[in-house]
Structure 1
Amino acid sequence: MERGELIEEVLRAFFDADADFIKFSKRMSTTDKAAVDKALGLSRRPGGVSDTLIDQA
């Protein structure tokens, strides 16, 4: 795993455990989420950390 990927997973785990952030993100509309993703140049991944981990097998 590259350093950037590790940092991304640590941050994802942190935000997945943050109850206030979860409430905030649930209130965001699909349009709002798409705008954030576009601004950051990201593609939204479904689920939490367990859905985004890379299978090393």
Structure 2
Amino acid sequence: MISSNVGELECVKVTRVRKNSTRETTIWFSQKYNFIPVKVLQKKDGDEIATMILDSIELK
């Protein structure tokens, strides 16, 4: 579950660890909104270096 400005979203969490690197990317995909990414977290050497969290969504 991810808390965002569009509410609590049930997500699928995927983590990618690169070969020959200490950088790791974790992405949470929303089940409710056709698996769009709602949170992206990047870490290097165990330290958080970037975070993106969904602020709003408009479906057409």
Using structure 2 for the length normalisation, give the TM-score. Answer: 0.20
Q: If each structure's helix is expressed as a fraction of its own residues, which one has the higher value?
A: 1
- Structure (1/2) with the larger strand percentage: 2
- TM-score, structure 1 length as denominator? 0.21
